[in-house]
Amino acid sequence: MAEWLAERFPAEQEGDLGRRLAHLVSQPVLAAVAEECGLGQVLSVSPGEARVGVRKQATVVADALEAVLGALYLDGGLEVARAFVRRAWNSAMTAQVAPPKDAKTTLQEWAQRRAMELPVYTVTERTGPPHAPAFVVTVTVGGRSGAGSAGSKRVAERLAAEALLRELGA
């Protein structure tokens, strides 16, 4: 992916390329690529897992896609893996006109432009068993706050930043 980005955007700064790379290998993009490839439909899962929709969970199909890439590389070599990546990620790659910014970065830049303190993220609630936790995270900046809830702290932080950005109209 990094090689492809360097070829496609040769004049772009490292930071912008890094954001593009992070986006293209993020769980939502991996899950979308896996869905486009029909990977979830061919996963072998127990009947109970099938009933609860495991084949459609972003974490599951994203992890499965990474496993497929590893298998392609080990079995067919770099050229086979490269060809698959360029085919499967073509629409995600060509959709990127400008380097993406994640919500946390956007919120941080919003605060810095206004000479405010950096956003503070706090886990305000943790529920669920150790193997399937749920987190509620609150982000505060400039006396305003937003909250997000997800199965990982990182995703909950992103959702909290997105909620606050919507509230701020940013």
Q: What is the pLDDT of residues 8-45, one digit of tens each?
A: 999 999 988 998 998 899 999 999 999 999 999 899 98
- Give rounded-to-5 percent helix, strand, coil for the chain: 60, 15, 25
Q: What's the pTM?
A: 0.65
pLDDT of residue 102: 84
Nearest to 30 by CA among 62, 70, 68: 62
pLDDT of residue 110: 93
pLDDT of residue 100: 79
- Return d(Cα 133, Cα 152) in angstroms, integer: 7
Low-confidence ranges of the chain (pLDDT < 50): none
Beta-bridge partners for 126:
135
Helix (H, G, I), strand (E, B) or coil at 40: helix
* Element at 149 (helix H, strand E): strand 144-150
pLDDT of residue 50: 84
Q: How open is the CA angle 90-93-95, to the nearest 5 degrees?
A: 105
Domains and CATH numbers, the chain: 2-94 (1.10.1520.10), 103-168 (3.30.160.20)
Pair of tokens at residue 156: 């909950």
